[in-house]
Amino acid sequence: MNLAELLRQIVQVTQLRRARLVASQGVVPGVLWATLVIGAFATLAFTLFFGTPNVRAQAVMTGILSILLFCGLLIVVSFDHPFSGPVRVKPHALLAIKSDFMK
């Protein structure tokens, strides 16, 4: 391997590292967050217009819907932080490439 090839690979590794750092900052813009949260509250408030004679059944239905909305927003939070939390990109592929470079 000559010096020019080595320098090209170093530049490529640096560019890819910068791309990973940019990707790790999150992918969900603030406007989308506002839309999701306002939509969740609007949907939850909309269930109150369908009143049933049984208040307990209304509370259970509204509670189930609020849990579903919370789970949906939790998934968006997980995707917004791709390198942290329980659902994250793990470094296995990068470690495999690193071991290939060490050979």
pLDDT tens digit string along 57-96?
888 888 999 999 999 888 888 777 777 777 676 777 777 7
Measured CA to CA, the distance from residue 24 to residue 83 in angstroms comes to 6
Higher-confidence residue: 66 or 98? Answer: 66
Q: For residue 26, name the pLDDT band (cuts at 50, 70, 90).
A: low
The pLDDT of 29-58, averaged and rounded, is 86
Predicted pLDDT of residue 1:
65
| The pLDDT value given to residue 24 | 66
Largest CA distance in the chain: 81
Q: What is the CA radius of gyration of the chain?
A: 23
Q: Which two tokens stand for residue 88?
A: 């994250």
Can you give the residue ranges of every domain in the chain?
Answer: 27-80
- What predicted TM-score, i.e. pTM, was given to this entire model? 0.57
Coil, helix or strand at residue 68: helix
Decide if pLDDT at 45 tops 90. Answer: no
Q: What is the mean pLDDT of residues 30-35?
A: 85
- Contact by Cβ (8 Å): 66, 47: no
Contacts of 89 (CB under 8 A, 6+ apart): 82, 83
Please provide the size of the chain in residues. 103
